């Protein structure tokens, strides 16, 4: 499973500010990215547990509040064929091979 998007920091006046974005998943795994533009893409892949929730926080070294701003979010899942479907494909391959 994966999640990503244009994730960046803004101040209280909605100005873009450089920020460190921390993405934390429900299983405790996290990813930290530095962003400075609304076109910066931040992506995260979970190889273990399913992504059941997502928390994003922003921090800045300059004084003032920094807010997480996200746009164009993408969510991905890897399809794993059922064992019956894999067996059916194998059987079809054997049958087509016998005909030749």
pLDDT in tens, 32-69: 888 888 888 888 777 776 777 777 778 776 667 888 88
Average model confidence (pLDDT) across the chain = 77
List the end-to-end C-alpha distance of the chain, in Å, as a whole number.
40
Percent of the chain whose pLDDT exceeds 70: 78
Q: Determine the pLDDT at residue 37.
A: 87
- Got the DSSP string for 33-99? EEE-STT-EEEEE-SSS----EEEEEE-SSSS--EEEEEEEEEE------HHHHHHHHHHHHHHHHH
Looking at the 3D structure of the chain, how many domains does it have? Answer: 1
Q: Determine the pLDDT at residue 26.
A: 73
Rounded-to-integer distance, Cα 36 and Cα 9, Å: 7
pLDDT in tens, 87-96: 777 767 776 6
Range of the structural domain that residue 61 is part of: 2-99
Percent of the chain whose pLDDT exceeds 90: 0
Rounded-to-integer distance, Cα 27 and Cα 51, Å: 8
């Amino acid at each position: 499973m994966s999640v990503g998007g244009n994730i960046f920091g803004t101040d209280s006046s909605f100005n873009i500010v450089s920020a460190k974005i921390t993405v934390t998943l429900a299983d405790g795994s996290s990813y930290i990215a530095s962003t400075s533009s609304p076109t910066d893409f931040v992506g995260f892949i979970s190889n273990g547990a399913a992504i059941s929730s997502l928390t994003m926080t922003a921090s800045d070294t300059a004084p003032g509040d920094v807010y997480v701003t996200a746009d164009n979010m993408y969510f991905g899942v890897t399809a794993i064929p059922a064992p019956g479907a894999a067996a059916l494909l194998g059987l079809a391959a054997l049958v087509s091979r016998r005909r030749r």
